[in-house]
Amino acid sequence: MKNWIFNRVFLRTIFSLLLMGLCVASANANTRLVVVDDTDYAQQKSGLSLIAKEAFSSRLSQMNFLVLDTESVLNKTVTKTTNFSKNNFTESLPNLRTAYGEIIIIFFKLELFQSQQYNSKLQANVSVYSSASETSLISTSLEEANILLPKECDNICTRILASRATREIGDILASRVGKLIKSLSSANSKEITMLNAVKFELLNFTNSQKNEFIEILENELPGFHKIENMQTKASLSRFIYYTEISNYKLERWISIGLEEIGVFDENNFEILVKPGNIQVLLIKTQNKRGSTGNPLKYN
């Protein structure tokens, strides 16, 4: 009797664990990704970027993400696939959303820095964007500094000697990115929470203006999560601002926030908005001088 009860409890436990695993796998499989090679053309010649991208995509597939075929996605949504890069992909987002709805776009860039002392370096950079919010979700990089290449190593030589390290970089970086994407998922709905990670740059703010403005960003704007990497040098302040709000709404609200710190005239500020970046510039007004008069007569 005891054995029967034990076996029953054991089977229930195993079944529950399997069910939980299936639920997690299903949640990740609902997250659709497309990985775009954003490597410079000159760097692509060795073939290393393709090796790294394939290892990167393979690891994400093993983590139960649905990795879409890059060429198919670009053919359906972009007129000129060669121009689809991190710098201009927003132009193709309407077509992308029409064809695929909400997906995650990952730009993968690999660079090889060759050294005269044989000790070359590989660096991979990944930028993750949401097609829904048009914002940056994740930006991360990884490098391997001990790539031994002879001085006269052509593209074939480079591909042979550096392919193993390239695969490892792609695999490790994909594992990191996959975990970061999962960490953004809601505990209840298991859906990706699209955090807008905005790099703010404040120029020509006084100390008090900067403090008041940041206090507004933190305490009055809806959707705020956190501020990281605060850096200040002279009249320039930089920080990463995490929010659930799109750049479009932020731009409108920033204007209101500037009014609250006493900057009312639109001629006294500029707001420059790019994907993942917002620059707020206060324009210093020159003190008006009176008429110079006639110095020859009145001196």
How do the domains of the chain map onto residue ranges?
27-183, 196-282
CA neighbor of 215 nearest in space, from 196, 180, 241: 241
Q: How many CB atoms lie within 10 A of CB 178?
A: 21
Tell which residue, 187, 159, 259, 180, has the closest CA to residue 23. 187
pTM for the complete prediction?
Answer: 0.51
Residue segments in the chain with a per-residue pLDDT below the cut of 50: 1-2, 4-28, 81, 186-192, 287-292, 294-299
pLDDT at 286: 55
CATH entry, 196-282, from 2.60.60, 3.40.50, 1.10.10, 3.30.70? 3.30.70
At residue 27, the pLDDT reads 43
CA-CA-CA-CA dihedral for 17, 20, 22, 24, to nearest 10? -140
Chain centroid offset of residue 69 CA? 21
Three-state DSSP state, 248: helix
Q: So what's the pLDDT on residue 188? A: 32
pLDDT value of residue 150: 67
The predicted pLDDT at position 213 comes to 92
Element (H, E) at 207: helix 207-219
- Give the count of beta carbons closer than 10 Å to the beta carbon of residue 40: 12
- Return the pLDDT at 8: 46
In the CATH hierarchy, which top-level class contains the domain 27-183? alpha beta
